[in-house]
Structure 1
Amino acid sequence: MTTPASHTLAGRQETASTPTGISDVVFDFCGVLIDWQCAAALRGHYPDSLVDRICAADDPYGFFDYEDRMDHGEALADILPDVRNDHGDEIADIFADYIARYDDSLTRIVPGMQALLEDLKAAGYGVWGLTNWSYETFHFAFEKFPRLEELLDGTVVSGVEKQFKPNTGFYRLAMDRFGIEPASSVFFDDTPRNVAGAQSAGMRAFVFENASRARHDLQSLGVRV
């Protein structure tokens, strides 16, 4: 789902800006705002050895690839037959269960990030979300962490739009939706290729490491946090 940005546009004249012209900050979700842990949704339900294989970077069952397809806008119902064909009924049932309990994988707000968003809002900056996430599971983010929905002025979700990072057009769609200019915005993502995509769209962008580093990066541009 998306959180409409249009309701914020009337207040844009009051948005803060820096000597370098920064008025808005855009954040990725998983790995930046929310600590996502694949294993947290599976541990205790399946053997640890199987969970370790599924959540490994070289996962032989392709959970991350199937989830990526959902992030691009495909429905779970359309993907499950491929999982069954590729890996059998047991793995397909585990993947469906993983998606059904996806909120368990969202373990916490990344330390320090709620305070950073609150400080940015208090200083008058626009604060937004831009995420590669399935339209079927994104609702868990705001249901589990309603404060994030309160703080963000709007969020654009790849699975809804069927566009995704790092494609330049996805960032431009978000800028249009938010009503902000790329040159006056800063983007944070934990994936370097997504940062490069934002830069190709004309945004300032940083690879996210932690909240303290993000503050330092913003301060380097004159943002008052």
Structure 2
Amino acid sequence: MKIKNIIFDFGGVLVDWNPRYFFKDYFNDDEKMEYFLENIAQSEWNEEQDRGRLLSEGTDIQVKKFPEWEKELRAYYDNWTVMLKSDIPQNVDVLRRLKNTDYQLFGLTNWSEETFPYALENYDFFQIFDGKIVVSGTEKLIKPDPKIWHVLLERYHIEAGESIFIDDNPKNIEMAQSLGFTTIKINPDTDLKQELENLGIKL
């Protein structure tokens, strides 16, 4: 089937977000930082905010569980913008090239509805999507729940079999494949341009 649509995840694909960019200097102790991120402000907790829970509510829940870490937990979302370090230039360059092709471009991201507007405002390449972005925090659904892919497919009247899905998370890639998408898994050393060309996409 001919590919008509290319769908991008954002974190780890187009933007470099990592809580360590803030907490490395905050703790000045890598062991303590890793303990905090693995056991206190773990990714499963952050994902609930990506699923639509308010940042303030998520923070309060965790502070009640770990009162001795209150200062650090409150620092998490207060300094969230420091964690969004930069774009990922080589992949954004591919996105810009795709803008001048006939492919439809979409975003499908696990991202808090409260923090996503900052990224939209500060990184101009998001405008390339013309608003065709499905944000987990807005939908109250999160990858790898298949329902969020169905939101994208139904809202924009597209077919999985005519679409490439690009993500850095193996679980999301696995789910997308099971739904009929062609997939590209992004690693730090992935040549996205080459991967797309291997699938017959001309840039």
- When the two structures are aligned, how many residues end up with a matched partner? 202
Does residue 36 in structure 1 map to residue 13 in structure 2? no
Shift of 1:175: 1.6
Encode CA deviations 1:51-105: one digit per residue, 9 max, x unaligned.
653446972213323211101111123222321222115x233223221221111
Who is 1:26 aligned against?
A: 7
The whole-number CA distance in structure 1 between the counterparts of 2:60 and 2:98 is: 45
- Per the normalisation by structure 1, the TM-score is 0.81
Match for 1:47 among 27, 31, 42? 27
The whole-number CA distance in structure 2 between the counterparts of 1:75 and 1:86 is: 17
The whole-number CA distance in structure 2 between the counterparts of 1:211 and 1:178 is: 31
SS in structure 2 at match of 1:59: helix
Shift of 1:26: 0.5
The whole-number CA distance in structure 2 between the counterparts of 1:43 and 1:57 is: 11
Shift of 1:210: 4.8
Q: Which runs of 5+ in 2 are unaligned?
A: none
CA separation of 1:149 and 1:52: change in aligned 2, threshold 3 A: farther
The whole-number CA distance in structure 2 between the counterparts of 1:93 and 1:161 is: 30
Residue 48 of structure 1 aligns to which amino acid in structure 2? N
Match for 1:80 among 48, 59, 62? 59
Q: Percent identity?
A: 28
Does residue 152 in structure 1 map to residue 129 in structure 2? yes
Match for 1:131 among 109, 112, 120? 109
- Matched-pair contact (CA < 8 Å) for 1:72–1:164: yes
After TM superposition, where is structure 1 displaced by more than 3 Å over at least 4 residues in a row? 51-58
CA separation of 1:88 and 1:185: change in aligned 2, threshold 3 A: same
Encode CA deviations 1:22-50: one digit per residue, 9 max, x unaligned.
11111111100101121222343x2311x
SS in structure 2 at match of 1:112: helix
Moved more, 56-65 or 199-208: 56-65
Who is 1:203 aligned against?
A: 181
- Matched-pair contact (CA < 8 Å) for 1:53–1:60: no
- Matched-pair contact (CA < 8 Å) for 1:133–1:158: yes
Shift of 1:133: 1.0
Q: Which runs of 5+ in 1 are unaligned?
A: 1-19
Residue 22 of structure 2 aligns to which amino acid in structure 1? A
Residue 83 of structure 1 aligns to which amino acid in structure 2? Q
The whole-number CA distance in structure 2 between the counterparts of 1:56 and 1:190 is: 24
Moved more, 77-86 or 151-160: 77-86
SS in structure 1 at match of 2:166: strand
